[in-house]
Structure 1
Amino acid sequence: MSVQIIKKQDQAKGAFDFGRILENKPLGFPHEGGVTKPVSNLFYWAHAWSDTGGLIGEHPHQGFEIMSYVIDGTISHYDNKMAAWKNLSKGDAQLIKSGNGITHAEKLLPGAHIFQIWFDPNLSNSLKIPANYTDVPADSFPVVTENGLTKKVVVGENSPLNLDSEGVEIAEYRMGVGNFSIPTAKDSTYGLYVVSGELQVGGQPALSDDYLISKDADEISFEAQKDVVVFVVKINNEVSYRTYAQSQGIA
């Protein structure tokens, strides 16, 4: 098993609303200086938070599928399809299929933390389709517990959240102290964000906000040294279409 650990300090950073919203980006935009690049149809991944509350003003998106997941607290979302603000709370998720164009805005209430992750569903097709979005409450996602490892399926088997982007699976894992393994698939890459806690992976420490990358492995094994929450995104190494990142020479 080979796992690359991208420490928090080596990831891209961002800010909105005069620093009221801060971002840690395991996979930032190419100009932002992080060490990682888009992989297959996984294009962008940010962890955003606000201690005081802050606003990301209305802005446009096209083509990409944008999934937001509330790690903690509450956010409020506006888009020009609904033309109203709607709250999302801890454990809720939203999928925007931005299609041929949508504008939206987000407020992070004090103490809110979210992931926002972008996937490429084949822009040559998606740019021709009207935009839409789906909100899914936390209690709608399937949860499975086995051998002390609790898995919440955000995208995958029996989840109500469906992406057009090929091969994507997303899960949140929770575990106590002990040794654990997550089964993985060949011909796939896994990105793991340590939301909280402390791991040992291959003799290396992985702390909160560290990002782990595993490719073409049978499983990912680790030792949880504190109660741990890990958010995991699985993608296929190859998809059936030319991705935006490939077309721009940034994959």
Structure 2
Amino acid sequence: MMIQRYNVDQQGVGQFDGGKITEQKPIGFPGEGSEVKRVGPLFYWAWAKAEHEGYIPLHPHQGFEIITYVISGKAEHGDSLGTRSIVGPGGLQVMQTGSGVSHEEGFVGSDMQGFQIWFEPHLREALRRKPTYQQFEHEEFHQIDFHDGVHVKEILGDDSPVALETDVHMWDIHINHPFIYHQQIGKGRSVSILVLEGRGRINETSYEAKEFFVIEANELEEMNIQAEAETRLIVIEVPTTVNYPLYRK
């Protein structure tokens, strides 16, 4: 198992609406400062924050599968399909952009936090599909609440209501007190972890809030997250390589 650790200075930054929206980018575009450019089909990951409110005007997308996951505050969405929607904490917006769609976004506080994450399906096939938009509320997702104060919410995967073309699993993990959380990583899979809060160790590697990790498994291996303080993590698992050509940034 190979674990790579990236502190805040090794991640990218961005902003919109005159700085009303700021972004920390564990996975960014060239020139944004992110050392990680992709992990398999995980193509882009931005942690957006808005103290009050900020807006991004109408702009186009094609091919990629794009999710917006809300931590606090709310995300507003409008698109050329005629959609107008708002989701609050724990909610998810999903765009399968297919042959092309334009959308606009609002990030509304107070103290809004959320993620926009792009996944790359087989683009040649995706471009032949009609674009779609779906919205899911927090209560629609499967969550396991362990008796010892560990909460694991499956955002993408086998028990999720969301169906993507890209092979991806995603979890929101909240550990309320010192505890060791175990999760297996399959052969040929990679796991990306963004630490929202807390401190502890991932196997033998220490972590702190705002750090980003990429883990590659060559065999079936076990990841152990030892929380030393209240911890919240966003964990995404994808294949390390895929059997279709990937877009060159």
Q: Which amino acid aligns with 1:106?
A: E
Contact kept? 2:17, 2:56, Cα under 8 Å: yes
Count of residue pairs the alignment pairs up: 244
Alpha-carbon offset, residue 25 of structure 1: 0.5
The aligned amino acid for 2:191 is Y
Query: What is the CA-CA distance between 1:179 and the residue it aligns to?
Result: 2.2
Deviations 1:18-63 (A, max 9, x none): 1010000000012322111212211111100111211111111011
Query: Where do residues 52-131 of structure 1 align in structure 2 (5 Å cutoff)?
Result: 52-84=52-84, 86-110=85-109, 111-131=111-131
- Give 5+ residue unaligned stretches, structure 1: none
Distance 1:143 1:62 in 2: 32
Q: Deviations over 1:113-160 (max 9, x none)?
A: 111110111110111111101101100000123474321111112210
SS of aligned partner of 2:125:
helix
CA distance in 1, matches of 2:31, 2:43: 13
- Please list every run of 5 or more consecutive structure 2 residues that lacks an aligned counterpart in the other structure: none
The residue aligned with 1:209 is 210
> More strand per residue: 1 or 2?
2
Root mean square deviation of aligned Cα: 1.5
Question: Alignment partner of 1:31: what SS?
Answer: coil
| Matched ranges for 1:190-229 at <5 A | 190-216=191-217, 218-229=221-232
What's the counterpart of residue 151 of structure 1? 152
TM-score normalised to structure 1 length: 0.92
Q: Identity over the aligned pairs, expressed in percent?
A: 29
Query: Is the 2:203–2:226 contact (alpha carbons within 8 Å) kept by the matching residues of 1?
Result: no
- 1:109 is paired with a residue whose SS is strand
For the residue of structure 1 that corresponds to 2:60, the secondary structure is strand
Q: Distance in 2 between matches of 1:208 and 1:168?
A: 24
- 1:33 matched residue in structure 2: 33
Please, what TM-score do these two structures have when normalized by structure 2?
Answer: 0.93
Distance 2:81 2:112 in 1: 24
Offset of 1:17 from its aligned partner? 0.5
Aligned to 1:234: 237
Specify the code of the residue in structure 1 equivalent to 2:108: L
Read off the aligned partner of 1:34 and give its amino acid letter: S
How far did 1:203 drift?
Answer: 4.6
